[in-house]
Amino acid sequence: MRYFKVGQDKSSGYTGCVEGNHKWSLPGIRRCPACNSTWSSGSLFYPSVDLSSVTSLGDFEEPRAEPIEEYERLRELARPLLPPGAMVKPGAEFGPLIGKAHGSFGSLVVPSPWLLLAQREALEKLQAEGLKGLKGCRTQLRFRQRNAPDLLELELLPVGRLHPGCLPPNREPPCPRCSRRGLTRPDDMLLDVSSLPNHLDLFRLEDFPTTMVCTDRFAEACRRLGLDGVAFQPLPDA
With respect to residue 50, please indicate whether it lies within any of the assigned structural domains.
Answer: yes
Gyration radius of the chain's alpha carbons: 18
* Cβ–Cβ < 8 Å for 191, 105: no
Task: Tell me: pLDDT of 230 over 90.
Answer: yes
* Pick from 158, 155, 161: nearest CA to 185: 161
Task: Tell me: pLDDT of 216 over 90.
Answer: yes
Q: Please tell me the total count of domains within the chain.
A: 1
- 147 pLDDT band, cuts 50/70/90, is confident
Quote the pLDDT of residue 54: 96
With respect to residue 68, please indicate whether it lies within any of the assigned structural domains.
Answer: yes
Strands, E assignment, 115-229: 115-119, 136-138, 140-143, 151-154, 202-204, 212-215
Quote the pLDDT of residue 91: 97
The Cα 55–Cα 45 span in angstroms is 21
Task: Tell me: pLDDT of 7 over 90.
Answer: yes
Task: Tell me: pLDDT of 42 over 90.
Answer: no
* Segment holding 103, helix H or strand E: none
For 10-35, the pLDDT digits (tens) are: 999 999 999 999 999 999 999 999 99
Per DSSP, the three-state class of 207 is coil
Quote the pLDDT of residue 202: 98
Task: Tell me: pLDDT of 167 over 90.
Answer: yes
The Cα 236–Cα 191 span in angstroms is 6
| 82-97 mean pLDDT | 96
With respect to residue 27, please indicate whether it lies within any of the assigned structural domains.
Answer: yes
The Cα 21–Cα 62 span in angstroms is 11
Quote the pLDDT of residue 188: 95
* Pick from 45, 90, 96, 53: nearest CA to 204: 45
Q: Which distant-in-sequence residues (6+ apart) come within 8 Å of 68 by Cβ?
A: 29, 30, 32, 33, 177, 178
* Cβ–Cβ < 8 Å for 28, 71: yes
The Cα 20–Cα 12 span in angstroms is 22
Evaluated on CA atoms 60, 64, 65, 67, the torsion sign reads negative
The overall average pLDDT reported for the chain is 96
Domain that includes residue 25, residue range? 21-95
| 185-208 mean pLDDT | 96
* Segment holding 74, helix H or strand E: helix 68-78
Quote the pLDDT of residue 238: 81
Per DSSP, the three-state class of 170 is coil
Alpha helices in 99-226 (DSSP H): 120-128, 216-225
What pTM does this model have? 0.95
- 146 pLDDT band, cuts 50/70/90, is confident
